[in-house]
Amino acid sequence: MDIDQIIDNIYPLPEGSKQTFKKYISEVSFPKGYILLRSDCIEKNIYFIKQGTVRAYAKTEDSETTFWLGLEGDTAISMKSYVANQKGYEDIELLEKSVFYELNIRNLQNLFEQDIHFANWGRKLVEQELIKTEERLISQQFRTAKERYKELIKNRPDLILRVPLGHIASYLGITQVSLSRIRADLK
């Protein structure tokens, strides 16, 4: 997905503003397994996925819990670093060799101060991320594992083909054995 589509999907900018914005964005790529964002750091950049698959996870003493999966067009961001300039909760790992559009948070904040269009774009970015988080929370609280899996197949079918089943099970809040049973029931 190209950067113009990603920008416009968040909030369309006037062409002049978009061209200014793009001057601050660079394209970067990293190998499979690379940790893009770390929970023990204040992250200085946000990333828009041009190509690839990523997961956000939190670690406990004996496990990792995947709570977000991202594909092309999604934003990889530590909201805590972005909003509060504090260490994030999550690590973000690349599940495939991936290409990103990288944007420095300080540059973005400077753009917010220069042009109301950028400030509105930033507001829309945070609003969209908030809605995604709210939908995820509601799904986890009020839907069965089978319903969550069916919803994932319906809304993000590429994930099933590109993400290891162990990460999908973790994302759904179930064991891999339970996921296997659900998949068998649906066949």
* pLDDT per residue as tens digits for the range 78-98: 999 999 999 999 999 999 999
Distance CA 174, CA 109 (A): 39
In whole angstroms, how far apart are CA 45 and each of 5, 9, 15, 65, 70?
Answer: 20, 20, 24, 23, 17
Q: How many domains does the chain have?
A: 1
How much is the pLDDT for 19?
A: 96
Sign of CA dihedral 151, 130, 9, 170: negative
The pTM of the full predicted model, rounded to 2 decimals, is 0.93
* Spans of the chain, pLDDT less than 50: none
173 in a structural domain? no
How much is the pLDDT for 187?
A: 84
Give how far the C-alpha of residue 163 lies from the chain's centroid of Cα atoms, to the nearest Å.
Answer: 14
How much is the pLDDT for 145?
A: 95
How much is the pLDDT for 104?
A: 97
Domain housing 56 = 3-142
Q: Specify the CATH number for the domain of residue 73.
A: 2.60.120.10
How much is the pLDDT for 61?
A: 86
99 in a structural domain? yes
How much is the pLDDT for 60?
A: 85
164 in a structural domain? no
How much is the pLDDT for 128?
A: 96
37 in a structural domain? yes
3-class SS at 87?
coil
